[in-house]
Chain A
Amino acid sequence: MKVLVVDDFATMRKIIKNVLKQINVDSILEAENGKHALTVLKGDAVDLIISDWIMPEMTGIEFLKACKADDAIKKIPFIMVTAEAQKDNIMEAIKSGVDNYIVKPFTPEKLKDAIDKAKARAAQ
Chain B
Amino acid sequence: MTMDVKYINPFIAAAKNVFKTMLGMDLMLGKPYLKDVRATSGDVTGIMGLVGDQKGTLCISFRDKGALFVFKTLIGDECDSVTPDVVDAVGELTNIISGSARGEFEKAGINLKAAIPMVVVGKNVEMNFITRIPIISLPFNFSVNNGENEVMFLDFSFE
Q: Which residues of A contact B (CB under 8 A)?
A: 9-12, 14-15, 17-18, 21, 83-87, 104-107, 110
For residue B100, CB closer than 8 A to chain A, the reply is yes
Q: Which residues of B contact A (CB under 8 A)?
A: 17-18, 21-22, 24, 74-77, 85, 88-89, 91-92, 96, 99-100, 102-104, 106, 112, 114
Question: Interface centre among B22, B77, B89, by most A CB within 10 Å?
Answer: B22
Tell whether A21 pairs with B88 under 8 Å between CB atoms, given A15-B22, A85-B103, A107-B21.
no
Are B100 and A21 within 8 A (Cβ)?
no
Are A11 and B89 within 8 A (Cβ)?
yes
Q: Which of B17, B24, B92, B106 sits near A12, CB closer than 8 Å?
A: B92
Are A85 and B106 within 8 A (Cβ)?
yes
Are A84 and B92 within 8 A (Cβ)?
no
Which residues of chain B are near A11, meaning CB under 8 Å? 75, 85, 88-89, 91-92
Are B75 and A21 within 8 A (Cβ)?
no
Question: Interface centre among A12, A18, A85, by most B CB within 10 Å?
Answer: A85
Are A9 and B92 within 8 A (Cβ)?
yes
Q: Which of B21, B22, B91, B102 sits near A85, CB closer than 8 Å?
A: B102
Tell whether A104 pairs with B75 under 8 Å between CB atoms, given A11-B88, A15-B92.
no
Are B92 and A83 within 8 A (Cβ)?
no
Residue of B nearest to A87 (CB): B103
Are A84 and B100 within 8 A (Cβ)?
yes
Which residues of chain B are near A10, meaning CB under 8 Å? 88
Which residues of chain A are near B77, meaning CB under 8 Å? 14
Are B74 and A105 within 8 A (Cβ)?
no
Are B76 and A83 within 8 A (Cβ)?
no
Question: Interface centre among A9, A10, A83, by most B CB within 10 Å?
Answer: A83
Which residues of chain A are near B76, meaning CB under 8 Å? 14, 17-18, 21
Residue of B nearest to A21 (CB): B76
Are A14 and B75 within 8 A (Cβ)?
yes
Q: Which of A9, A18, A84, A107 sits near B103, CB closer than 8 Å?
A: A84
24 A–B pairs (Cβ distance < 8 Å), ordered by A: A11-B85, A11-B92, A14-B75, A14-B77, A15-B74, A15-B75, A15-B89, A15-B92, A21-B76, A83-B102, A83-B103, A84-B102, A85-B112, A85-B114, A86-B99, A87-B103, A104-B96, A104-B99, A105-B18, A105-B21, A105-B100, A106-B21, A107-B22, A110-B21
